[in-house]
Protein backbone atom coordinates (compact mmCIF):
# COMPACT_ATOMS: atom_id res chain seq x y z
CA UNK A 1 0.00 0.00 0.00
CA UNK A 2 1.40 3.38 -0.99
CA UNK A 3 1.66 6.31 1.36
CA UNK A 4 -1.03 8.07 -0.67
CA UNK A 5 -3.41 5.17 -0.08
CA UNK A 6 -2.56 4.94 3.63
CA UNK A 7 -3.19 8.67 4.06
CA UNK A 8 -6.53 8.45 2.28
CA UNK A 9 -7.67 5.45 4.31
CA UNK A 10 -6.50 6.98 7.58
CA UNK A 11 -8.47 10.14 6.81
CA UNK A 12 -11.62 8.27 5.89
CA UNK A 13 -11.71 4.59 4.83
CA UNK A 14 -15.07 4.93 3.09
CA UNK A 15 -15.33 8.62 2.17
CA UNK A 16 -18.80 8.89 3.67
CA UNK A 17 -19.60 7.16 6.94
CA UNK A 18 -21.53 7.26 10.17
CA UNK A 19 -19.50 7.97 13.28
CA UNK A 20 -19.62 5.96 16.49
CA UNK A 21 -21.88 8.64 17.94
CA UNK A 22 -24.24 8.32 15.00
CA UNK A 23 -24.29 4.55 15.31
CA UNK A 24 -25.09 4.92 18.99
CA UNK A 25 -27.98 7.26 18.22
CA UNK A 26 -29.36 4.82 15.65
CA UNK A 27 -29.07 1.91 18.06
CA UNK A 28 -30.74 3.94 20.81
CA UNK A 29 -33.65 4.77 18.51
CA UNK A 30 -34.16 1.09 17.64
CA UNK A 31 -34.09 0.08 21.33
CA UNK A 32 -36.60 2.81 22.18
CA UNK A 33 -39.00 1.49 19.53
CA UNK A 34 -38.69 -1.99 20.98
CA UNK A 35 -39.12 -0.73 24.54
CA UNK A 36 -42.18 1.32 23.53
CA UNK A 37 -43.91 -1.80 22.25
CA UNK A 38 -42.87 -3.98 25.17
CA UNK A 39 -43.71 -1.45 27.86
CA UNK A 40 -46.68 0.07 26.02
CA UNK A 41 -45.14 3.51 26.45
CA UNK A 42 -45.93 5.70 23.41
CA UNK A 43 -43.71 8.50 24.69
CA UNK A 44 -40.69 6.36 23.88
CA UNK A 45 -41.77 6.31 20.24
CA UNK A 46 -41.68 10.10 20.15
CA UNK A 47 -38.11 10.07 21.49
CA UNK A 48 -37.12 7.43 18.93
CA UNK A 49 -38.67 9.50 16.13
CA UNK A 50 -36.73 12.51 17.34
CA UNK A 51 -33.45 10.56 17.15
CA UNK A 52 -34.26 9.22 13.67
CA UNK A 53 -35.17 12.70 12.46
CA UNK A 54 -31.93 14.07 13.86
CA UNK A 55 -29.98 11.40 11.98
CA UNK A 56 -31.74 12.26 8.72
CA UNK A 57 -31.13 15.98 9.11
CA UNK A 58 -27.47 15.41 9.99
CA UNK A 59 -26.99 13.18 6.93
CA UNK A 60 -28.60 15.78 4.67
CA UNK A 61 -26.43 18.51 6.20
CA UNK A 62 -23.25 16.57 5.46
CA UNK A 63 -23.95 14.73 2.21
CA UNK A 64 -26.44 16.88 0.29
CA UNK A 65 -24.37 20.01 -0.52
CA UNK A 66 -22.53 20.02 -3.83
CA UNK A 67 -19.20 21.80 -3.94
CA UNK A 68 -16.92 22.94 -6.71
CA UNK A 69 -13.35 23.49 -5.66
CA UNK A 70 -10.34 24.76 -7.59
CA UNK A 71 -6.93 24.16 -6.04
CA UNK A 72 -3.80 25.94 -7.24
CA UNK A 73 -0.45 25.02 -5.66
CA UNK A 74 2.79 26.94 -6.03
CA UNK A 75 6.07 25.47 -4.80
CA UNK A 76 8.63 28.08 -3.75
CA UNK A 77 11.56 26.12 -5.22
CA UNK A 78 11.49 25.08 -8.88
CA UNK A 79 13.60 22.04 -8.01
CA UNK A 80 13.53 20.62 -4.50
CA UNK A 81 16.83 19.11 -3.40
CA UNK A 82 17.02 16.16 -1.04
CA UNK A 83 17.56 17.53 2.46
CA UNK A 84 16.40 21.07 1.60
CA UNK A 85 13.24 22.79 2.80
CA UNK A 86 10.70 24.81 0.86
CA UNK A 87 7.11 25.98 1.20
CA UNK A 88 3.95 25.13 -0.71
CA UNK A 89 1.37 27.86 -1.18
CA UNK A 90 -2.07 26.42 -1.87
CA UNK A 91 -4.95 28.66 -2.95
CA UNK A 92 -8.42 27.13 -2.62
CA UNK A 93 -11.50 28.60 -4.31
CA UNK A 94 -14.68 26.97 -3.00
CA UNK A 95 -18.05 27.40 -4.71
CA UNK A 96 -21.16 26.21 -2.85
CA UNK A 97 -24.77 27.33 -2.37
CA UNK A 98 -24.33 27.08 1.39
CA UNK A 99 -21.72 28.51 3.71
CA UNK A 100 -18.24 27.02 3.68
CA UNK A 101 -18.24 23.69 5.54
CA UNK A 102 -16.32 23.37 8.80
CA UNK A 103 -13.76 20.61 9.14
CA UNK A 104 -10.11 19.87 8.43
CA UNK A 105 -8.07 19.85 5.26
CA UNK A 106 -5.03 17.74 4.45
CA UNK A 107 -2.86 17.55 1.36
CA UNK A 108 -1.62 14.09 0.36
CA UNK A 109 2.19 14.02 0.32
CA UNK A 110 4.29 11.46 -1.57
CA UNK A 111 7.04 9.40 0.05
CA UNK A 112 9.63 11.63 -1.60
CA UNK A 113 8.85 14.57 0.69
CA UNK A 114 8.20 15.14 4.38
CA UNK A 115 5.96 17.81 5.79
CA UNK A 116 2.88 18.70 7.81
CA UNK A 117 0.08 19.51 5.37
CA UNK A 118 -3.08 19.75 7.45
CA UNK A 119 -5.13 22.35 9.28
CA UNK A 120 -8.60 23.65 10.09
CA UNK A 121 -11.06 24.43 7.30
CA UNK A 122 -11.91 27.13 6.44
CA UNK A 123 -8.54 28.76 7.01
CA UNK A 124 -8.20 31.87 9.16
CA UNK A 125 -7.62 34.04 6.08
CA UNK A 126 -10.78 32.83 4.33
CA UNK A 127 -12.63 35.57 2.47
CA UNK A 128 -16.20 35.45 1.30
CA UNK A 129 -16.65 36.10 -2.43
CA UNK A 130 -19.80 36.03 -4.56
CA UNK A 131 -20.89 32.39 -4.72
CA UNK A 132 -18.29 30.96 -2.38
CA UNK A 133 -15.11 31.38 -0.35
CA UNK A 134 -11.43 31.77 -1.18
CA UNK A 135 -8.52 31.05 1.13
CA UNK A 136 -4.79 30.35 1.12
CA UNK A 137 -2.89 27.66 3.01
CA UNK A 138 0.90 27.52 3.33
CA UNK A 139 2.75 24.47 4.61
CA UNK A 140 6.43 23.43 4.67
CA UNK A 141 7.93 20.38 2.98
CA UNK A 142 11.44 18.95 2.79
CA UNK A 143 13.02 16.62 0.24
CA UNK A 144 13.33 13.08 1.60
CA UNK A 145 14.18 11.02 -1.50
CA UNK A 146 14.92 11.99 -5.07
CA UNK A 147 12.27 11.27 -7.65
CA UNK A 148 9.39 12.55 -9.74
CA UNK A 149 6.31 12.85 -7.53
CA UNK A 150 3.12 14.85 -7.09
CA UNK A 151 1.41 16.79 -4.32
CA UNK A 152 -2.29 16.25 -3.70
CA UNK A 153 -5.12 15.84 -4.15
CA UNK A 154 -6.58 17.92 -1.33
CA UNK A 155 -8.66 16.01 1.22
CA UNK A 156 -11.48 17.86 2.97
CA UNK A 157 -13.11 16.16 5.98
CA UNK A 158 -16.35 17.68 7.30
CA UNK A 159 -18.97 16.63 9.88
CA UNK A 160 -22.39 17.74 11.05
CA UNK A 161 -22.69 19.88 14.23
CA UNK A 162 -23.65 16.81 16.30
CA UNK A 163 -20.81 14.62 15.00
CA UNK A 164 -23.11 11.89 13.68
CA UNK A 165 -21.74 11.70 10.11
CA UNK A 166 -18.46 12.58 8.41
CA UNK A 167 -17.61 13.19 4.77
CA UNK A 168 -14.18 13.18 3.12
CA UNK A 169 -13.73 14.48 -0.42
CA UNK A 170 -10.81 14.57 -2.82
CA UNK A 171 -10.68 18.04 -4.29
CA UNK A 172 -8.63 19.58 -7.07
CA UNK A 173 -5.82 18.16 -9.17
CA UNK A 174 -2.33 17.04 -8.27
CA UNK A 175 0.77 19.19 -8.72
CA UNK A 176 3.96 17.54 -10.05
CA UNK A 177 7.18 18.11 -8.14
CA UNK A 178 10.76 17.07 -8.86
CA UNK A 179 13.10 16.15 -6.02
CA UNK A 180 16.68 16.16 -7.31
CA UNK A 181 19.71 14.53 -5.65
CA UNK A 182 21.85 16.63 -3.35
CA UNK A 183 25.10 18.07 -4.71
CA UNK A 184 27.73 17.66 -2.02
CA UNK A 185 30.97 19.65 -1.73
CA UNK A 186 33.95 17.51 -2.66
CA UNK A 187 37.72 17.85 -2.21
CA UNK A 188 39.63 19.12 -5.22
CA UNK A 189 40.96 16.61 -7.73
CA UNK A 190 44.35 17.06 -9.34
CA UNK A 191 44.30 15.11 -12.57
CA UNK A 192 47.27 12.91 -13.41
CA UNK A 193 47.65 14.75 -16.70
CA UNK A 194 48.85 17.73 -14.64
CA UNK A 195 45.69 19.80 -14.93
CA UNK A 196 43.46 20.59 -12.00
CA UNK A 197 40.93 22.54 -14.03
CA UNK A 198 39.19 25.65 -12.80
CA UNK A 199 40.84 28.23 -15.05
CA UNK A 200 39.30 27.67 -18.46
CA UNK A 201 37.13 25.34 -20.40
CA UNK A 202 39.44 22.58 -21.52
CA UNK A 203 37.54 20.38 -23.95
CA UNK A 204 39.74 18.14 -26.03
CA UNK A 205 39.67 19.17 -29.69
CA UNK A 206 41.02 16.89 -32.37
CA UNK A 207 40.49 16.01 -36.03
CA UNK A 208 38.01 13.21 -36.45
CA UNK A 209 38.04 10.41 -39.01
CA UNK A 210 34.29 9.95 -39.48
CA UNK A 211 32.42 10.39 -42.73
CA UNK A 212 29.66 12.54 -41.29
CA UNK A 213 31.78 15.55 -40.51
CA UNK A 214 33.72 16.06 -43.75
CA UNK A 215 33.93 19.47 -45.41
CA UNK A 216 35.89 20.05 -48.63
CA UNK A 217 38.49 22.79 -48.94
CA UNK A 218 40.89 23.90 -51.68
CA UNK A 219 44.00 21.88 -52.24
CA UNK A 220 47.23 23.38 -50.92
CA UNK A 221 50.73 22.10 -51.61
CA UNK A 222 51.60 19.33 -49.19
CA UNK A 223 48.13 17.80 -48.97
CA UNK A 224 48.01 14.06 -49.53
CA UNK A 225 46.58 13.03 -52.88
CA UNK A 226 44.56 10.37 -51.02
CA UNK A 227 42.50 13.17 -49.45
CA UNK A 228 41.23 14.56 -52.77
CA UNK A 229 37.45 15.00 -52.75
CA UNK A 230 36.63 14.05 -56.34
CA UNK A 231 32.93 14.95 -56.20
CA UNK A 232 33.62 18.46 -54.85
CA UNK A 233 36.46 18.84 -57.38
CA UNK A 234 34.14 18.00 -60.29
CA UNK A 235 31.44 20.33 -58.91
CA UNK A 236 33.65 23.39 -58.36
CA UNK A 237 36.22 22.91 -61.08
CA UNK A 238 39.09 23.30 -58.58
CA UNK A 239 41.09 20.62 -56.84
CA UNK A 240 39.43 20.02 -53.46
CA UNK A 241 40.52 17.85 -50.54
CA UNK A 242 38.63 16.44 -47.56
CA UNK A 243 38.99 18.44 -44.34
CA UNK A 244 37.50 16.90 -41.22
CA UNK A 245 35.75 19.39 -39.00
CA UNK A 246 37.00 19.77 -35.50
CA UNK A 247 35.29 17.61 -32.92
CA UNK A 248 34.90 18.11 -29.21
CA UNK A 249 35.06 15.34 -26.63
CA UNK A 250 34.67 15.52 -22.87
CA UNK A 251 37.67 15.98 -20.64
CA UNK A 252 35.91 14.02 -17.88
CA UNK A 253 33.56 11.07 -18.14
CA UNK A 254 31.29 9.97 -15.28
CA UNK A 255 29.67 6.54 -15.69
CA UNK A 256 26.64 5.56 -13.59
CA UNK A 257 26.11 1.81 -13.79
CA UNK A 258 22.35 1.20 -13.92
CA UNK A 259 22.44 -2.54 -14.70
CA UNK A 260 19.78 -4.15 -12.50
CA UNK A 261 21.99 -7.07 -11.47
CA UNK A 262 24.40 -4.62 -9.81
CA UNK A 263 21.75 -3.36 -7.40
CA UNK A 264 20.22 -6.54 -6.02
CA UNK A 265 20.31 -7.09 -2.26
CA UNK A 266 20.82 -10.42 -0.48
CA UNK A 267 17.05 -10.99 -0.52
CA UNK A 268 16.81 -10.37 -4.25
CA UNK A 269 15.22 -6.94 -3.84
CA UNK A 270 16.60 -3.82 -5.43
CA UNK A 271 19.00 -1.91 -3.20
CA UNK A 272 17.35 1.49 -3.60
CA UNK A 273 19.34 3.07 -0.77
CA UNK A 274 22.62 2.07 -2.39
CA UNK A 275 21.47 3.32 -5.78
CA UNK A 276 20.43 6.65 -4.23
CA UNK A 277 23.93 7.03 -2.79
CA UNK A 278 25.36 6.28 -6.22
CA UNK A 279 23.13 8.89 -7.86
CA UNK A 280 24.12 11.48 -5.24
CA UNK A 281 27.77 10.69 -5.87
CA UNK A 282 27.25 10.94 -9.64
CA UNK A 283 25.60 14.37 -9.41
CA UNK A 284 28.16 15.71 -6.93
CA UNK A 285 31.17 14.48 -8.92
CA UNK A 286 29.86 15.75 -12.26
CA UNK A 287 29.13 19.23 -10.88
CA UNK A 288 32.44 19.27 -9.00
CA UNK A 289 34.42 18.43 -12.14
CA UNK A 290 32.70 21.04 -14.29
CA UNK A 291 33.34 23.61 -11.56
CA UNK A 292 37.03 22.72 -11.85
CA UNK A 293 36.92 23.54 -15.55
CA UNK A 294 36.45 20.10 -17.09
CA UNK A 295 33.91 19.39 -19.81
CA UNK A 296 31.88 16.51 -18.39
CA UNK A 297 29.70 13.83 -19.95
CA UNK A 298 27.55 11.62 -17.73
CA UNK A 299 26.56 8.27 -19.25
CA UNK A 300 25.36 4.90 -18.08
CA UNK A 301 27.41 1.73 -18.49
CA UNK A 302 25.87 1.04 -21.91
CA UNK A 303 27.00 4.43 -23.23
CA UNK A 304 23.57 6.13 -23.12
CA UNK A 305 24.01 9.84 -22.43
CA UNK A 306 22.38 11.02 -19.19
CA UNK A 307 23.66 14.58 -19.17
CA UNK A 308 26.35 16.88 -20.52
CA UNK A 309 27.93 19.72 -18.57
CA UNK A 310 29.87 22.54 -20.16
CA UNK A 311 29.36 25.16 -17.47
CA UNK A 312 25.82 26.44 -18.17
CA UNK A 313 23.32 26.53 -15.30
CA UNK A 314 20.50 24.98 -17.34
CA UNK A 315 22.78 22.05 -18.19
CA UNK A 316 23.26 21.43 -14.47
CA UNK A 317 19.53 21.50 -13.82
CA UNK A 318 18.92 19.22 -16.79
CA UNK A 319 21.38 16.66 -15.43
CA UNK A 320 19.82 16.76 -11.96
CA UNK A 321 16.34 16.29 -13.41
CA UNK A 322 17.55 13.30 -15.43
CA UNK A 323 19.15 11.79 -12.33
CA UNK A 324 15.99 12.43 -10.29
CA UNK A 325 14.15 9.89 -12.42
CA UNK A 326 17.02 7.42 -12.83
CA UNK A 327 16.51 3.87 -11.59
CA UNK A 328 18.17 0.45 -12.01
CA UNK A 329 17.15 -1.31 -15.20
CA UNK A 330 15.58 -4.65 -14.38
CA UNK A 331 17.08 -7.59 -16.24
CA UNK A 332 19.82 -5.58 -17.90
CA UNK A 333 23.38 -6.84 -17.86
CA UNK A 334 26.40 -4.61 -17.90
CA UNK A 335 27.84 -4.20 -21.39
CA UNK A 336 31.11 -2.70 -20.23
CA UNK A 337 32.42 0.84 -20.18
CA UNK A 338 32.14 3.12 -23.20
CA UNK A 339 35.29 3.21 -25.28
CA UNK A 340 37.37 5.46 -23.04
CA UNK A 341 40.27 5.41 -25.45
CA UNK A 342 38.07 6.87 -28.22
CA UNK A 343 35.52 9.10 -26.52
CA UNK A 344 37.65 10.16 -23.59
CA UNK A 345 41.43 10.50 -23.65
CA UNK A 346 42.46 13.35 -21.38
CA UNK A 347 41.13 13.72 -17.86
CA UNK A 348 39.26 11.82 -15.15
CA UNK A 349 37.15 8.73 -15.78
CA UNK A 350 34.79 7.94 -12.88
CA UNK A 351 32.82 4.70 -12.70
CA UNK A 352 30.09 4.41 -10.04
CA UNK A 353 28.64 0.95 -9.63
CA UNK A 354 26.98 -1.39 -7.15
CA UNK A 355 27.80 -5.03 -6.50
CA UNK A 356 30.96 -6.25 -8.24
CA UNK A 357 33.31 -9.16 -7.66
CA UNK A 358 36.96 -9.71 -8.51
CA UNK A 359 36.11 -10.97 -12.01
CA UNK A 360 34.09 -7.84 -12.70
CA UNK A 361 36.91 -5.63 -11.45
CA UNK A 362 39.46 -7.50 -13.52
CA UNK A 363 37.49 -6.88 -16.71
CA UNK A 364 37.26 -3.11 -16.25
CA UNK A 365 39.42 -1.12 -18.63
CA UNK A 366 40.06 2.59 -18.25
CA UNK A 367 41.59 3.05 -21.69
CA UNK A 368 44.51 5.10 -20.41
CA UNK A 369 42.39 7.84 -18.84
CA UNK A 370 44.27 10.46 -16.88
CA UNK A 371 42.68 9.58 -13.54
CA UNK A 372 40.47 6.47 -13.47
CA UNK A 373 38.32 6.28 -10.32
CA UNK A 374 36.09 3.38 -9.28
CA UNK A 375 33.42 3.75 -6.57
CA UNK A 376 31.35 0.73 -5.54
CA UNK A 377 28.54 0.46 -3.01
CA UNK A 378 28.87 -3.31 -2.50
CA UNK A 379 32.20 -4.62 -3.76
CA UNK A 380 33.44 -8.08 -2.79
CA UNK A 381 36.46 -8.25 -0.51
CA UNK A 382 39.03 -8.56 -3.32
CA UNK A 383 37.27 -6.55 -6.04
CA UNK A 384 38.71 -3.15 -5.17
CA UNK A 385 42.19 -4.59 -4.78
CA UNK A 386 42.01 -6.17 -8.23
CA UNK A 387 40.79 -2.91 -9.74
CA UNK A 388 43.55 -0.97 -7.98
CA UNK A 389 46.13 -3.32 -9.45
CA UNK A 390 44.77 -2.42 -12.89
CA UNK A 391 45.41 1.28 -12.29
CA UNK A 392 42.12 2.42 -10.78
CA UNK A 393 41.83 4.66 -7.76
CA UNK A 394 39.19 2.86 -5.72
CA UNK A 395 36.97 3.46 -2.71
CA UNK A 396 33.87 1.91 -1.17
CA UNK A 397 30.82 4.10 -1.51
CA UNK A 398 29.32 4.19 1.99
CA UNK A 399 26.76 6.42 3.65
CA UNK A 400 28.59 9.64 2.74
CA UNK A 401 29.57 9.91 -0.95
CA UNK A 402 31.87 12.85 -0.09
CA UNK A 403 33.99 10.57 2.12
CA UNK A 404 34.27 7.99 -0.66
CA UNK A 405 35.40 10.66 -3.13
CA UNK A 406 37.97 11.97 -0.65
CA UNK A 407 39.32 8.44 -0.16
CA UNK A 408 39.53 7.84 -3.91
CA UNK A 409 41.25 11.17 -4.57
CA UNK A 410 43.80 10.49 -1.84
CA UNK A 411 44.40 6.89 -2.96
CA UNK A 412 47.21 5.94 -5.30
CA UNK A 413 46.78 3.37 -8.06
CA UNK A 414 47.60 -0.04 -6.67
CA UNK A 415 45.99 0.54 -3.27
CA UNK A 416 42.31 -0.03 -2.52
CA UNK A 417 40.52 2.13 0.03
CA UNK A 418 37.72 0.40 1.96
CA UNK A 419 35.24 2.19 4.16
CA UNK A 420 34.64 0.23 7.32
CA UNK A 421 30.99 1.22 7.24
CA UNK A 422 30.38 0.07 3.68
CA UNK A 423 28.50 -3.17 2.91
CA UNK A 424 31.39 -5.22 1.57
CA UNK A 425 30.97 -8.87 0.78
CA UNK A 426 27.59 -8.21 -0.78
CA UNK A 427 26.48 -11.31 -2.67
CA UNK A 428 24.69 -11.35 -5.96
CA UNK A 429 27.24 -9.47 -8.05
CA UNK A 430 26.98 -10.34 -11.72
CA UNK A 431 29.98 -10.88 -13.92
CA UNK A 432 30.42 -8.14 -16.50
CA UNK A 433 30.85 -9.07 -20.13
CA UNK A 434 34.38 -8.52 -21.39
CA UNK A 435 35.08 -5.01 -22.64
CA UNK A 436 35.32 -4.72 -26.37
CA UNK A 437 32.55 -7.27 -26.98
CA UNK A 438 29.66 -4.84 -27.00
CA UNK A 439 28.42 -2.02 -29.12
CA UNK A 440 28.72 0.32 -26.14
CA UNK A 441 32.49 -0.09 -26.25
CA UNK A 442 32.50 1.63 -29.63
CA UNK A 443 30.13 4.39 -28.60
CA UNK A 444 31.78 7.71 -29.15
CA UNK A 445 30.44 10.14 -26.55
CA UNK A 446 30.30 13.60 -28.00
Which of the four pLDDT bands, split at 50, 70 and 90, describes residue 307? very high
Q: Determine how many CB atoms are found less than 10 A away from the CB of residue 235.
A: 11
Q: In this predicted model, what pLDDT tens digit does every residue of 273-295 receive, in sequence order?
A: 999 999 999 999 999 999 988 88
Higher pLDDT, 218 or 19: 19
Integer CA distances (angstroms), 253 to 97, 281, 334, in order: 63, 14, 17
- 420 closest CA partner among 407, 431, 411: 407
Q: In the predicted model, what is the mean pLDDT of residues 422-438? A: 35
Measure the N-to-C terminal CA separation of the chain; round to a whole number of Å.
Answer: 43
Q: Residue 329: is its pLDDT beyond 50?
A: yes
CA distance 90 to 68: 16
Which of the four pLDDT bands, split at 50, 70 and 90, describes residue 441? very low
Q: Residue 184: is its pLDDT beyond 50?
A: yes
Q: In this predicted model, what pLDDT tens digit does every residue of 135-174 receive, in sequence order?
A: 999 999 999 999 999 999 999 999 999 999 999 999 999 9
- Kindly report which listed range (279-283, 319-323, 377-381) carries the lowest average pLDDT score: 377-381
Q: In this predicted model, what pLDDT tens digit does every residue of 388-405 receive, in sequence order?
A: 999 999 999 999 999 999
Question: pTM for the complete prediction?
Answer: 0.74
Q: In this predicted model, what pLDDT tens digit does every residue of 415-424 receive, in sequence order?
A: 555 543 333 3
Coil vs helix vs strand at 127: strand
> DSSP assignment of 43-68, as one string?
HHHHHHHHHHHHHHHHHHHHHS--EE
Q: In this predicted model, what pLDDT tens digit does every residue of 56-92 receive, in sequence order?
A: 999 999 998 888 899 999 999 989 999 999 999 999 9
Amino acid sequence: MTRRERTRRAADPAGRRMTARGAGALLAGILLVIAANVLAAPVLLYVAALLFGLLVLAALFVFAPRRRVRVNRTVAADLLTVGDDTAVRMQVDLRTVMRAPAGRWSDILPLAVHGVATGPFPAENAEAVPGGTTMTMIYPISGARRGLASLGPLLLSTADPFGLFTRTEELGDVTPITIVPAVLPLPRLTDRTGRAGGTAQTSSHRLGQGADNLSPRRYVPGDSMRRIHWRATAHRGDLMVRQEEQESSPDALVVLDRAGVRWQGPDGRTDLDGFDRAVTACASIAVHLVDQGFAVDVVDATGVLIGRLRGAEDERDGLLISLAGASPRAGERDHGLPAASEGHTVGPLVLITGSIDAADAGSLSHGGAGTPILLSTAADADALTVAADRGWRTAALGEDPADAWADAVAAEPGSATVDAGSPLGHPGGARAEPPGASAAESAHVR
